[in-house]
Amino acid sequence: MNTPLARTPWLPKLVLAPSFALGLAFIYGLMAWNGYLSFSASRLLPNYEWAGLVHYQALWGNERWWLALRNLAVFGGLFIGGAMALGLLMAVLLDQKVRAEGALRTVFLYPMALSFIVTGTAWKWILNPGLGLEKLLHDWGFESAQFSWLIDPEMAIYCVVIAAIWQSSGFVMALFLAGLRSIDDSILKAAQVDGASLPRIYWRILIPSLRPVFFSTLMIVAHLAIKSFDLVMALTSGGPGYATDLPATFMYTMAFTRGQIGLGAASATMMLATLAAIVVPYLYSELRSKKA
């Protein structure tokens, strides 16, 4: 029997067309516009006169950009490694069918429900020497205790790492826990029959089986690391000095406070190229495996 939907196959396309057109314009259209601005003579205002690689030459000759990249290497490495390690550990612990598992999952996932602005503000209070942990230790009688990382240029980047791991590790845990629960129980039972201990089963069998989850999680967390902006702005504003400046904060400063639209567009294009270098090979391998 022909249904009304079957008689109007164009209706779903018509319904989706506006959102598709808007997404195409405001995502890919603005990406293309930003790319063109990076090759233009834009300064304080957009200028569409072609200028070639001038802004890219200025970008790679800018010491602050190199500092932002070094900070990203430190932040990204520690954040990705810490969030994945802590998330995997929590997933393994919850996989033991512990009591109140649902409540614990909610507690671990709760930080991800907060915006990065809220997280940055909360951790700014916690790590503030006059308000947070240091003051609490002093009130408890530990007068010599110091925890002034937030105002120490050498340690401030690690404050951002701590806040980012706290925000994202619960989400990573949910991904790994879903992967563990999808593994056939017969594999676990067979290993137990053979006399393998539980730690050995996880280390040799279950965790290696999570390779697709590892790759997907790595893509998501790396994406969060590269585009980190609001957390840094709320927690440190890129300071003290430029100690926690990242490519995203560099781009914002150049484009919107220094009147260097072309330079900001060039830095944004480099961030996009970095994300593409991570995501495109992964998507290619996934599509290739599905075709095979």
259-287 per-position pLDDT tens digit: 899 999 999 999 988 888 887 877 777 77
Of how many residues is the chain composed?
Answer: 292
> Who's near 26: CB < 8 A, 6+ residues apart?
none
| 8 A C-beta contact, residue 270 and residue 68 | no
Please give the Cα distance from 159 to 235 (Å, whole number): 8
Which residues lie below 8 Å from residue 156, measured CB to CB, with a gap of 6+?
A: 149, 150, 236, 239, 240, 243, 244
Q: How confident is the model at residue 6 (pLDDT cuts 50, 70, 90)?
A: low
pLDDT at 73 over 90: yes
Q: Which of 275, 217, 216, 277 is nearest to 247 (CA)?
A: 275
Assess if residue 235 is contained within a domain. yes
Return left, alpha or beta for 170; rule: phi > 0 is left, psi -120 to 50 is alpha, else beta.
Answer: alpha
Residue 149 lies in a domain: yes
How many CA atoms, within 13 angstroms, populate the side-chain half-sphere of residue 134? 16
Determine, yes or no, domain membership for 214: yes
pLDDT of residue 172: 93
Cα distance between residue 86 and residue 174, in whole Å: 11
User: Is residue 21, in this structure, part of any structural domain at all?
Assistant: no
- Asked, for residue 172, whether it belongs to a domain, the answer is yes
Residue 269 forms part of a structural domain: yes
Position 37 in a domain: no
In the structure encoding, which two tokens stand for residue 265, read together?
A: 């567009």
Pairwise CA distance, residues 190 & 93, whole Å: 21
**Residue 210's domain is classified under what CATH number?**
1.10.3720.10
Give dist(CA 6, CA 230) in Å, integer: 47
Tokens standing for residue 77? 């490495």
What is the pLDDT at residue 2? 54
Domain span at residue 137? 62-291
Residue 131 phi/psi, 5-degree rounding, is -125, -35
Q: Is 20 exposed, middle or buried (0-12, 13-18, 19+ CB in 10 A)?
A: exposed
In a domain, 43, yes or no: no
Q: How many domains does the structure of the chain reveal?
A: 1
Tens of pLDDT, residue by residue over 105-131, are 888 888 888 888 999 999 988 888 777
Q: In a 3-state reduction of DSSP, which class is residue 40?
A: strand
Write the pLDDT tens digit of every residue in 154-206.
999 999 999 999 999 999 999 999 888 888 778 777 877 777 788 888 888 88
